[in-house]
Amino acid sequence: MLDFLNRIFGRESNQSRSVAKERLRLVLVHDRIGVSPQLLQSLKADLIQVITNYMEIDEDALEVTLDSSENQVALVANIPVRRMKRKFQTESA
């Protein structure tokens, strides 16, 4: 109920504020290094294709982002693993 009243009277919760800040930070990182959203989606699809040869993952919960520090950019992937596969699959199999 308190959250509802805070939203009505214009007070943002700290959670929504931090989510908005994180989204803005990601947009700025993408702009700074020149990576389009399409390229990031393509990279994510390629990662899924390779990783699923070795393990079963939760593709819906997979997150791929670019993180920037002072002088470098890091590709950060959060990949929930459901289970390892006993035999890995190859393209020819």
Amino acid at 31: D
Is pLDDT at 80 greater than 90 in this prediction?
yes
Burial of 52 (0-12, 13-18, 19+ CB in 10 A): middle
Q: What is the pLDDT of residues 2-53, one digit of tens each?
A: 565 565 556 555 677 777 777 776 666 666 666 777 887 888 889 889 999 9
Residue 82: predicted pLDDT: 93
The residue that leads in pLDDT, 76 or 35, is 76
Position 27 scores a pLDDT of: 67
Instruction: Assign 57 a pLDDT band (cuts: 50, 70, 90).
Output: very high
Residue 58 banded pLDDT, cuts 50, 70, 90: very high
With tokens 């990279």, the residue in question is 43
